[in-house]
Amino acid sequence: MAKKTIRATLLKLVAGLAVITVLTTIVMGPSLTVQGVPIGIIFKFLQDGQAREAYFSDDKQGLHTRLQELDVEEEIKAFYRPQIPDEVKLDQHIHQIFYDTAGYVGKAYQVNAQGTLVLIDRQFEQWYPLAYQAGVVVDSVYKDDIHYVVGPDGITAPYKQVAQLFPIPTLKELIKLKSKQSLSWGEIPS
């Protein structure tokens, strides 16, 4: 008889905790997060077999693709947008959450020595090949979250300083001049 009373009490306790958990989730769900991820999105993730499989098999790219299909990134952005109105900072914050929880690094980011995502300078990606083709630089180095370039003389300088001296339109003109010189010397342009 005592065992039935204990079992009944435990069942009531577990049922009560379940009800409290559900009610707390309903009431606080819109503002409750786990490691920065809103609880509703965690439930959505847990209900999706493909997302769970990608996560537990450490398939970072597969997980990211599936989360995009589930529109998770946009839902998390909608959750944080009132607190982080700057879209660039918001995107970085969301991707930091993805990195911290799943190890995924978005294409627009690099991880620094402190484990923080840093936005890759897309301007550098446009500028550097032109500067190289123009002969303004011969190499580049990324150190301490800064792009450095090496000139033909071996001097290393922050890319942004050199880019101010040689903006993209100037580089394009230098490339044209270099091409004309090659043609006038009888060389075949590459």
Do 111 and 37 have their domain in common? Answer: yes
Name the band, by pLDDT with cuts 50, 70 and 90, for residue 18. low
SS3 144: coil
Number of independent structural domains in the chain: 2
Q: Is 93 exposed, middle or buried (0-12, 13-18, 19+ CB in 10 A)?
A: middle
- 167 neighbors 124 (Cβ within 8 angstroms): no
Report the chain's terminal Cα–Cα distance, integer Å.
93
Whether residue 79 sits in one domain with residue 158: no
Question: What beta strand segments (E) does the chain contain?
Answer: 33-34, 37-38, 109-111, 117-119, 139-143, 146-150, 156-158
Quick check: is 23 in a domain? no
Within a domain: 160:
yes
In this structure, are 113 and 157 located in the same domain? no
Q: Are 107 and 47 contained in the same domain?
A: yes
Q: Cα–Cα–Cα angle for 133, 159, 164, nearest 5°?
A: 85
Do 115 and 47 lie in one domain? The reply is yes
- pTM check: above 0.85: no
What range does the domain containing 48 cover? 31-119
pLDDT bin (cut points 50, 70, 90) of residue 171 is: very high
* Burial class of 100 by CB neighbour count within 10 A (0 to 12, 13 to 18, 19+): middle
12 within a domain of the structure (yes/no): no
Task: Note the pLDDT of residue 60.
Answer: 86
Instruction: Using DSSP, state whether 1 is helix, strand or coil.
Output: coil
Q: Of 91, 119, 147, which one is at a domain's C-terminal end?
A: 119
Tell me if 1 is assigned to some domain.
no
CA angle 14–38–98, rounded 5-degree value: 125
Tens of pLDDT, residue by residue over 52-108, are 999 999 898 888 889 889 988 889 999 999 999 888 888 899 999 989 988 888 877
pLDDT attached to residue 190? 53
Using one digit for the tens of pLDDT, what is the confidence trace for 117-127?
Answer: 988 877 888 89
Last residue of a domain, one of 119, 138, 170: 119
Which of residues 127 and 22 earns the better pLDDT score? 127
Give the span between the Cα atoms of 127 and 131, in whole angstroms.
6
DSSP state of 189: P
Q: What strand order describes the sheet that includes 156-158? A: 139-143, 146-150, 156-158
Judge whether 51 and 62 are in contact, CB under 8 Å. no
Question: What's at 9, amino acid-wise?
Answer: T
